[in-house]
């Protein structure tokens, strides 16, 4: 697009971001099924203003010459044997197993490559179980809310390419207000309730009895 003699480059659409991320993931060696999950995840990161494309590109550039460990079965405590965990296999495994993992309350992992790439899988897992998930690694912290929003003070910070310690906590659902405030508001709402009058009783009793034929 040209505006006043200057060329303005249009932003990439989220559809393009998902498609290219998916194809690149297949090209690097993942199955089409996992590649599709990666595409969805990178779209989520970019949608929330996080550096999904940059982190994925850097990870794939390193992946060709480095080894990463696949974590297929997640436990309460997980420590890689030698190499950092692959964030994509970790994320897919977490999403697949989240209904069982919820019982742990808190999951710990050591040595995860590009931890930001795990985040969208956790966000979707939050929606799957209907609970918030708190995701911490190093000094970074993200609160994932049912894949609707992400709360963090780390949006503008550069996320590390490796995290030594990760904690994933499941947050029990509870009201974010006092019972006293709820009762006060409910009492006010009662003023809108319609009192049952004799005319309403008659109307209700005769409902459906009129023959229009």
53 part of a folded domain: yes
37 part of a folded domain: yes
Quote the pTM value: 0.81
Give the range of the structural domain holding residue 71, as residue numbers without chain letter: 14-171
209 part of a folded domain: no
190 part of a folded domain: no
Secondary structure of the chain as H, E, C letters? CEECCEECCCCCCHHHHHHHHHHHHHHHCCCHHHHHHHHHHHHHHHHCCCCHHHHHHHHHHHHCCCCCECCCCCCCEEECCCCCECHHHHHHHHHHHHHHHHHHCEEEEEEEECHHHHHHHHHHHHHHHCCEEEEEECCEEEEEECCCEEEECCCCCCCCCEEEEEEEEEECCCCCCCHHHHHHHHHHHHHHCCCCCHHHHHHHHCCCCCCCC
188 part of a folded domain: no
Q: How many domains does the chain have?
A: 1
Task: Kindly give the confidence (pLDDT) of every residue in the chain, 213 residues in length, as a single tens digit, with 9 standing for 90 and above.
Answer: 445 555 555 688 999 999 999 999 999 999 999 999 999 999 999 999 899 999 999 999 999 899 999 999 999 999 998 999 999 999 999 999 999 999 999 999 999 999 999 999 999 999 999 999 999 998 899 999 998 878 877 655 678 899 999 999 999 888 889 999 999 999 999 999 877 565 555 655 555 555 555
């Amino acid at each position: 697009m040209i505006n006043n003699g200057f060329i303005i480059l249009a932003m990439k659409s989220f559809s393009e971001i998902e498609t290219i991320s998916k194809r690149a993931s297949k090209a690097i060696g993942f199955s089409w099924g996992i590649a599709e999950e990666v595409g969805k995840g990178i779209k989520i990161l970019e949608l929330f203003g996080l550096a999904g494309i940059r982190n994925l590109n850097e990870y794939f550039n390193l992946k060709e010459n480095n080894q990463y460990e696949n974590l297929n079965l997640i436990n309460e405590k997980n420590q890689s044997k030698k190499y950092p965990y692959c964030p994509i296999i970790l994320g897919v495994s977490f999403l697949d197993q989240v209904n069982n993992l919820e019982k742990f309350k808190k999951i710990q992992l050591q040595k995860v490559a590009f931890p930001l790439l795990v985040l969208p899988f956790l966000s979707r897992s939050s929606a799957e179980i209907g609970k918030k998930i708190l995701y911490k690694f190093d000094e970074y912290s993200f609160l994932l809310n049912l894949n609707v929003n992400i709360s963090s003070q780390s949006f503008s910070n550069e996320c590390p390419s490796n995290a030594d310690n990760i904690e994933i906590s499941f947050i029990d659902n509870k009201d974010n207000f006092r019972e006293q405030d709820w009762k006060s508001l409910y009492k006010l709402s009662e003023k809108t309730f319609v009192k049952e009058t004799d005319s309403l009783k008659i109307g209700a009793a005769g409902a459906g009895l009129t023959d229009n034929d």
